Amino acid sequence: MANKLEPIFRKGLLALVIFILFIVVFEQFLTLPRWLQALGRMHPLVLHFPIVLLLMAAGLQYFARFSRQSVSGDMRQVLRFLWLAGALFAGITVVMGIFLSQEEGYNSDATDWHKWTGVAVFLLASLLYRLQGHAFLESFTGAVLVIGLAILIPVCGHLGAVLTHGDNFITAPLQLEKKRPVVPLEEAYVFDDLVLPILETKCTGCHNPNKIKGKLNLMDSAAILAGGKSGLAINFQQPEDSRLLERIHLPLEAKEHMPPKGKPQLTPDEEAILVAWIKAGAPFSRKVLSLESSDPLQQLAAKQFQAAPTEVSQEVYTFPAAKEADIERLNTDYRTILPVAYGSPALSVQLFSAQAYEARQLEELQPVKTQIVSLDLSKLPVTDADLKLITPFENLRRLNLNFTNITAEGLTPLSKLQHLDQLHLAGVSLKPEAVKALLTAIPSLKAMTLWETGLTRQHMEELSQINPSLHVTGAFSDGDTVLLKLNPPVARTDQWVFPEQTEVTLGHPVSGVRLHYTLDETEPDSLSPVFSTPLTLHTTSVVRVKGYKEGWLPSDVTDFQFYRNTYKPDSVQLLNKLNHVHLAEGAHTFFDTQLGAIGANNPAWANYFAGVRHEAMQLVCRFDDPAEVSSVGIRYMIEEATGIYPPAAVEIWGGDNDQQLKLLAKRTLQAPEKGETPSLRKLDITFPKHPVRCLKIVAQPYKTEHPRLLLIDEMFLN
């Protein structure tokens, strides 16, 4: 070796050491240009050099140490050369290997182990080169290093072989079972993908051309047809009597039972498949899907294939990625451009807001026209002219034009989009001829949405004739004949409880509903007055409303209750405490015009009812000016199941002040029936008109079995 070259290579080795340490430490940030990938793929070629060189070097070193002869200067030179060359090649191999490992599919534990052992081999070899001529090498530790390297090299090599050939490459010929590639159900053949695998796992161990027991070979269709020593395996005239089945069905103890006792037996599913296959006439070239769906064979097959895992299949796009700066610049408030997935060059574009739409937004997409595979323009005022701006998007797969302003004529330029496979045109007024022409022009189309386009079911079937693999989505069902009932009408007012009068507006969520109403508590029908202008109510009344509309069943009758409360007390006071759960707004609850509702989930239940359980409710109302009261109304709740009862008795006392009260009226009420439906009731107590400054209302809760809750939300004094 020329002494002038050695220092150069030595420096090269040092550079390699540093370079490799650096890229190994920061490997996660590594991004490779394509030409380096090509270099990486030469790793399997180059790796043989360091293996040979380093093993030779290690061997010679060992020989030099134990031969007990003085090592000549030439020998030293050769050793130095071998170590240097070996280490250099090892370094180059490591670099290439790291480049190769950046490609898809090299992320297993095995890759890591291979990488680290490879790096270790390289570093160790470099170290041993540096130690050449040094006494340290003569020591025991030095020998261990050399031997360690000699062991590490085959280990590393084997780990690499596992990556390329699989981990059972060496032992594979020793194993009978073969892994077959997974075939999707659509492409599966009955014999090749269903029957043959069973034969191969359970039969061909003994029935193959090399080991041909009973002169029967089950390796392929021709051999199976040929049969064996005891005749044909399959009887096509009477498939049930085929010899193959006979042997399978014999009891396990029988000498002729197959597979023989002690060998792996057929599973019930496998047996069922063989039986069904032979009974079906042992077809050799039928696809699984060509069988009737009721065929047991297909059901068994479906079961078999369902178990196979489905992997994520991704379309691979070959066009180059767009400039990131372009994508960033074109992403605006109303236009979103995103790669379809991390690392994919394909872009998906969606435009938003009908108000913000301009054709310019499409024009501006020119810099990324090659990369757009999906474009969503639904619900935007896109015109026929705008569609011409889309035609340069040569790789477009998916186009959504639902509810745009385009017409049948506008479809023509779309025929330039030769990769299109999904086209959504719902809500666009179309002509069948235009759609047919487009479909003929773009054979790649797989799915079309044609709901609300004016095309009939008949038209859509004709489309499927042009392109049988086309999937058309139309209306889900042909005009439902079931009539729906209108939902309840609504009423709006500023005052549900009013002192003198209130104005009520009726309405309905569905437009165009006629609202018939009554004010006399009779049931409204289509002859009752129709609501047109707001109603003015002067007395406590119920507005009963029913809605009607063509094409609908009339709504249920809905009652809206309005209450007059002429004399709102100037002050109110409770003489007893309220139940601690049902305090609401205290004494003010009863005149706050807030009506409660049933149902513990409803805030109007919790907030608008005040109640008592153990003591009577004693409410004192005071008026600055005498009030000519002649009736007291009390609204209360009944919920028998939870123990909410009506008042047992109510007394009305009136007078000029609290000291001079006189009993004006008294009423007792029935307890509710067991299981009675919950309801809201109003108790009206009338008495001769009496001017009062003070009115006391005493309501006793029920005490049947145990004290019952009395809940009141509002009172009305008239």
Partner 1 sequence: MSKEFLEYGFNSNRRRFLSNLSLGIGSVALGSLLMPDLWNSKNIEEDGLPVGLPHFAPKAKRIIYLFQNGAPSQQELFDYKPKLNQLRGEEIPPSVRGSQRLTGMTANQSSFPLVGSFVDFQQYGQSRAWVSNLMPYTAKIVDELCFVKSMYTEAINHDPALTFLQTGAQQGNRPSMGAWLSYGLGNLNKNLPSFTVLLSRGIGNGQGVYSRLWTNGFLDSVHQGVQFSKGEDPVLYLRDPEGMNRTERRDMLDNLSVLNDMSYKEFGDPEIVAKIQQYEMAYRMQTAIPEVMDVSKESDAMVKLYGPDCLVPGTYAANCLLARKLVENGVRFVQLYHQGWDQHGNLPYEITQQARDVDQASAGLVIDLKQRGLLEDTLVIWGGEFGRTSYTQGTLTPDNYGRDHHPRCFTIWMAGGGIKPGMVYGETDELGYNIIKDPVHVHDFHATVLHQLGLNHEKLIFKHQGRRYRLTDVAGKVVKDIIS
Identify which of residues 262 and 309 has a Cβ nearer to partner 1 in the complex. Answer: 309
Give the C-alpha distances (Å, rounded to integers) separating 304 from 182, 259, 291, 373. 11, 21, 15, 35
Which residues, 419 to 458, sit near partner 1 by CB under 8 A?
422, 424, 426, 447, 449, 451-452
Distance separating alpha carbons of residues 100 and 37, to the nearest angstrom: 6
Binding mask 71-110 for partner 1 (x = CB under 8 A): ----------------------------------------
* CA–CA separation, 667 and 651 (whole Å): 7
The span of 46-54, 68-76, 332-340, 428-436 binding partner 1 (CB under 8 A) equals 332-340
Options 290, 429, 469, 473; binder of partner 1; rule CB under 8 A: 473
Cβ proximity of 97 and 114 under 8 Å: yes
The reply to whether 476 sits near partner 1 by the rule CB under 8 A is: yes
For residue 172, what is the DSSP state? G
Residues numbered 485 to 504 that lie near partner 1 (CB under 8 A) are 485-487
Q: Distance between terminal CA atoms of the chain? A: 124
Q: How many residues lie near partner 1 (CB under 8 A)?
A: 68
- The residue (of 222 and 312) whose beta carbon lies closer to partner 1 is 312
| Identity of the residue, 26 or 66, whose beta carbon is nearer to partner 1 in the bound complex | 26
Tell the smallest beta-carbon distance from residue 136 to partner 1 (Å). 8
378 binds partner 1 (CB under 8 A): yes
The string over 186-209, giving b where at least 16 C-beta atoms fall within 10 Å of a residue's C-beta and e elsewhere, is eebbbbbbbbbebbbbbbbebbbe
Instruction: Show the beta-strand stretches assigned E in 331-462.
Output: 335-339, 347-351, 372-376, 398-400, 422-424, 447-449
Instruction: Count other Cβ atoms within 10 Å, centred on residue 395.
Output: 20
Binder among 72, 108, 353, 501 for partner 1 (CB under 8 A): 353
42 near partner 1, rule: CB under 8 A: no
Candidates 18-26, 111-119, 153-161, 260-268; binding stretch for partner 1 (CB under 8 A):
18-26
Q: How far from 450 is each of 118, 126, 261, 370, CA to CA, in Å?
A: 60, 71, 62, 27
Identify which range of 46-54, 306-314, 631-639, 678-686 contacts partner 1 by CB under 8 A.
Answer: 306-314
Interface with partner 1 (CB under 8 A), residue from 59, 133, 166, 586 = 133
Nearer Cβ to partner 1 (174/482): 482
Q: Which long-range contacts (CB under 8 A, 24 or more apart) does 427-431 make?
A: 427/402, 427/403, 427/451, 427/452, 427/453, 428/401, 428/402, 428/403, 428/404, 428/453, 429/453, 429/454, 430/454, 430/455
Tell me if 26 contacts partner 1 by CB under 8 A. yes
- Tell me how far apart the alpha carbons of residues 468 and 509 are, in angstroms, rounded to a whole number: 44
Minimum CB separation of residue 162 from partner 1 in Å reads: 24
Q: What is d(CA 206, CA 189) in angstroms, rounded to the nearest whole number?
A: 25
* Binding to partner 1, residues 204-233 (CB under 8 A): none
564 bridge partner residues: 498
Based on CB atoms, which residue is closest to partner 1, 336 or 383?
336
- Closest alpha carbon to 683 in 636, 638, 645, 648: 636
Q: Which helix (H) or strand (E) holds 622?
A: strand 617-638
Burial (CB < 10 A; 0-12, 13-18, 19+), residue 42, is middle
Neighbours of 302 (CB within 10 A): 15
Interaction between residue 315 and partner 1 (CB under 8 A) = yes
Residues 528-567, one symbol each (x = binds partner 1 by CB under 8 A, - = not), give -----------------------xx---------------
When the beta carbons of 137 and 610 are compared against partner 1, the nearer one is 137
Query: What's the Cα-to-Cα distance from 202 to each of 208, 270, 274, rounded to whole Å?
Result: 12, 10, 12
Segment contacting partner 1 (CB under 8 A): 265-273, 311-319, 568-576, 582-590?
311-319
Cα dihedral across residues 521, 524, 530, 532: positive or negative: positive
Minimal distance, residue 149 CB to partner 1, in Å: 20
- Among residue numbers 403 through 422, which ones bind partner 1 (CB under 8 A)? 422
30 binds partner 1 (CB under 8 A): yes
567-626 positions binding partner 1, by CB under 8 A:
599, 601
Q: Give the nearer residue to partner 1 in terms of CB position, either 247 or 508.
A: 508
How far is C-alpha 373 from the chain's CA centre?
22
Measure Cα distances from 31 to 18, 99, 102 in Å: 19, 9, 8
CA distance 2 to 629: 128
Residue 396 or 695 having the CB closest to partner 1: 396
Distance, in Å, from the CA atom of 340 to the CA atom of 554, rounded to the nearest integer, reads: 50
Binding residue for partner 1, selected from 142, 339, 413, 643, defined by CB under 8 A: 339
Could you say which DSSP state residue 174 is in? G
- Using CB under 8 A as the binding rule, whether residue 8 contacts partner 1 is answered as no
d(CA 606, CA 361): 54
Q: Give yes or no for residue 400 binding partner 1 (CB under 8 A).
A: yes
145/278 with CB nearer partner 1 = 145
Residue 683 binds partner 1, judged by CB under 8 A? no
Q: Which stretch binds partner 1 (CB under 8 A): 19-27, 361-369, 433-441, 698-706?
A: 19-27
Cβ 667 vs Cβ 649: under 8 Å: yes
228 DSSP 8-state letter: B
Residues numbered 229 to 268 that lie near partner 1 (CB under 8 A) are none
Q: Which is nearer to partner 1, 49 or 352 (CB)?
A: 352
Nearest one of 494, 516, 493 to 504, comparing CA atoms: 493
140 touching partner 1, by CB under 8 A: no
- Among 172-180, 335-343, 578-586, 587-595, the segment contacting partner 1 (CB under 8 A): 335-343
Torsion angles phi and psi, residue 494, rounded to 5 = -80, -25
Stretch near partner 1 under the rule CB under 8 A, chosen from 37-45, 268-276, 346-354, 433-441: 346-354
Q: Report the residue from 258, 340, 619, 698 that binds partner 1 according to the rule CB under 8 A.
A: 340
Q: How far is the CB of 416 from partner 1 (least distance, A)?
A: 22
Distance CA 169, CA 706 (A): 85
Q: Does 3 bind partner 1 (CB under 8 A)?
A: no
| Rounded CA separation 316/536 (Å) | 71
- Residue 356: CB partners within 8 Å, gap ≥ 6? 333, 334
Does position 9 bind partner 1 by CB under 8 A? no
Q: Is 402 in the site for partner 1 (CB under 8 A)?
A: yes
The encoded tokens of residue 508 equal: 């309905």
Task: Please pick, from the candidates 40, 410, 474, 569, the single residue that binds partner 1 as defined by CB under 8 A.
Answer: 474
Question: Does 480 help bind partner 1 (rule: CB under 8 A)?
Answer: yes
Using rule CB under 8 A, residue 510 touches partner 1: yes
Q: Which stretch binds partner 1 (CB under 8 A): 11-19, 152-160, 194-202, 558-566?
A: 11-19
Decide whether 511 or 536 has the Cβ nearer to partner 1: 511
Q: Cα(27)–Cα(100) distance, rounded to whole angstroms?
A: 12
Binding site for partner 1 (CB under 8 A): 11, 14-16, 18-19, 22-23, 26, 28-32, 36, 130, 133-136, 306, 309-310, 312, 314-315, 333-334, 336, 338-342, 344, 350, 352-355, 378-379, 400, 402, 422, 424, 426, 447, 449, 451-452, 473-477, 480, 484-487, 509-511, 551-552, 599, 601
